[in-house]
Amino acid sequence: MLKKVYKLIHQKHQTSKNELLEETNIKQTTLTRMLDEMLNRNFILESGYGKSSGGRPPVLYQINEKIAYIIGIDISRIETKVILMDLFFQPIEIETFQMTKKESPQVVFSKVIQIIHTFLANFKIELEQLLGIGVGTVGPLNRQEGIIDNPEAFQSPKWQNVKVKEILSETFSVPIIVENGANTAALAEYTHHQFLYKNILYCIGGFGVRCGVISNGQFVHSKQGDSSAYGHIIIQAEGRLCTCGRKGCLTTYASFGAMLDEYKSRVKHESTSLNAIDPSILMDEFINELKKNDSLTKDIVKKAAYYYGIGIANMINVLHPELVVLHGSLIYESPYYYERVVESALKHTYSKDKDSIQFKKGGLGANGIAIGAGIQVFQTYFKQIDRPF
């Protein structure tokens, strides 16, 4: 019951004893004892006074967001991001490094561990104050064991059977959770919107297409832990050959790779072969040309957005989300692309669902995956009776 009250205070940010009594149906004497206990243990704070209804203004309570901290990590093809956050899930410090062909698991986790040590030292945080480490990454995954199985996207060829949980546990004796990044981002948006939307489809468009789904407030997990599977929805029968061996997958029409393949085939480069340029750098060049209103890049983007919208519409028709969140560098940097994707998705969505769906860009931007991974760590403390909250 103590956890229930604490969680309610956390969700409300600020609340009074009377509001807690109304929502919990706990006896006043019991609630008073619980609040006193949490105040004495510094879990919550008195944060001011509410509006008076005629008598003495009510005391307001909020959690003490600095009593403990969480680490959230986002590992993707392009970069790895490590965030130190407080209990309100607000980033305190962020460190990012690029993923190149040299970034093997050994290199990446050596950097990650050093970054976490630096965070703890710089902010004088004891290990006992660290609630845990959440990792949002690409799949397929073995979630229970915390293992990245055999991802498609990494430039380094050594990312097979990577025991993420075991590697981090050797240094940090705290709870460690490994989850698909698309799912953790969906959780972050669910929390960011204060649980207003119970059914969310979160789509990440990049060098692959990854999706996370929350249905009735809960993750929808695929058996193999592979959020990239959504990118292998067939949108063109007997279409382009995909890396998976089939033809017509969404990824072959809507991913960065698909756009760059067409870009390279239609652009003549005077001195350097485009194939020799790192794909991430080439994508930056592509986006810059798009921002200049270049007709070629606009044409390529328009077609990719059209097919991406078809894929999203297929997911909407099956999953019936209330909110569709779109994430990816092209989404944030090109209003033209975002608008074409939404337009195509609505055009191909089953008519009865159209009016009830909200489309939004990721409210937490590039930090959503890591923040969501941290939120998942926080949530585990309300599922286990042996935790301090």
Check: CB of residue 49 under 8 Å from CB of residue 36: no
Per-residue pLDDT of the chain (389 residues), as tens digits, is 888 899 999 999 999 999 999 988 899 999 999 999 999 999 999 999 988 777 789 999 999 999 999 999 999 988 999 999 999 999 999 999 999 889 999 999 999 999 999 999 999 999 999 999 999 998 889 989 999 988 877 888 889 999 999 999 999 999 999 999 999 999 999 999 988 899 999 999 988 899 999 999 888 876 655 657 888 999 999 999 998 899 999 999 999 999 999 998 888 654 456 666 777 888 888 999 999 999 999 999 999 999 999 999 999 999 999 999 999 999 999 999 999 999 999 999 987 767 789 999 999 999 999 999 999 999 998 874 334 43
For the full predicted model, state whether its pTM sits above 0.85: yes
Check: CB of residue 174 under 8 Å from CB of residue 246: no
Residue found under tokens 């350097």: 272
229-241 in b/e form (b: 16+ CB < 10 A) is: bbbbbebeeebee
Domains 2-63 and 197-361 share a fold: no
What is 197-361's CATH number? 3.30.420.40
**Domain residues of the chain, as ranges?**
2-63, 69-187+368-380, 197-361
Domain 69-187+368-380 has CATH 3.30.420.40: yes
Check: CB of residue 289 under 8 Å from CB of residue 310: no
Per-residue pLDDT tens over the stretch 242-256: 988 999 999 999 999
Report the CATH fold assignment for 2-63.
Arc Repressor Mutant, subunit A (1.10.10)
Question: Mind giving me the DSSP string for 123-168?
Answer: TT--GGGEEEEEEEE-S-EETTTTEE---S--SSTT-SSEEHHHHH
Q: Which of 317, 325, 367, 321 is nearest to 342 (CA)?
A: 325
